[in-house]
Amino acid sequence: MAGVVRGGTTGAGRLMKRAGAIVLMLGAACAAWAPLSGCELFGVLGTAYEENADHLVKAQNDGLRGKTYAVVVVSDRGIEADFPGVTAEITARINDRLADPANAVGATGHIESKALLKYLFNHPEASTKPGGKLAEDLGVDRIIRVDLYEFRINDPGNQYVWEGAAAATVGLVERESITPDEYAFRSTQRVTFPDKSGITQSDISGQVVMSALVKRITDRVAWLFYDHQEPIRITY
């Protein structure tokens, strides 16, 4: 059994760097757009601020608060064959994000990523176990199961244009529930990259596309479980 690391995940992230960047950007804009009238300048600055400002998005589920947890990401053999290690990478990314005290998940403990990945590697049958049994074996109160059913960097048959996508079904298992093998919470998340069509290998590499997809699906899964800031005009 992988060991649970005890310790709260409380506190809140600071946005000072982003706010400072916006202030500097607006200052530069004022100098650059001095010839504009007051109303025109106000409109331009307002648009610039809106495109870079954040807003608070509440967690969709607070089931980790006061509990211990483990993250289990499962993908089919095709995904792992095309992108070796991507399942483990997403597992660690989500697990580490939720364990970060700045994100105020409120959990009382978790299994460190290194120990968790070692356990999952040594117990390949873990992905097929009922959720309640897996939580018991891992010694945690909650299992966040992520079934990654899509991960690609281009459309089949078109290897020259990047059309990346990643999608997963996310389920939360509550060990103490009277139905521990059923999800107490369920959500489907899908992200894409690039944000513009027609981006080719001459523009960016496949590694850049893959890295962006990993980050974006990590964001969308982890954000389900804590209040967070998102750009107003987020593209994924």
Locate 106 and state its tokens. 């409120």
What is the residue extent of each domain of the chain?
16-52, 58-228
Q: How far is it, in rounded angstroms, from Cα 10 to Cα 32?
A: 42
Average pLDDT, the chain: 87
Residue 200 has pLDDT above 60, yes or no: yes
pTM for this prediction: 0.81
Residue 48 has pLDDT above 80, yes or no: no
What average pLDDT does the segment 69-73 reach? Answer: 97
The pLDDT of residue 6 = 78
Q: How would residue 19 be classed by pLDDT, with cut points 50, 70 and 90?
A: very low
Q: Lowest-confidence range among 16-30, 142-156, 194-208?
A: 16-30
Residue 97 has pLDDT above 70, yes or no: yes
Task: Check residues 108 and 43 and name the one with the higher pLDDT.
Answer: 108
Locate 68 and state its tokens. 């211990």
What average pLDDT does the segment 63-69 reach? Answer: 97
DSSP reduced 3-state for 45: helix
The pLDDT of residue 51 = 61
With residue 231 as reference, give the H or E element that holds it. strand 228-231
Q: How far is it, in rounded angstroms, from Cα 180 to Cα 211?
A: 34
> 215-224, pLDDT tens digit by residue?
999 999 999 9
Q: How far is it, in rounded angstroms, from Cα 78 to Cα 71?
A: 21
Q: Lowest-confidence range among 28-42, 74-88, 215-229?
A: 28-42
Locate 201 and state its tokens. 């290998």
> Check: CATH 3.40.50.10610 for 58-228?
yes
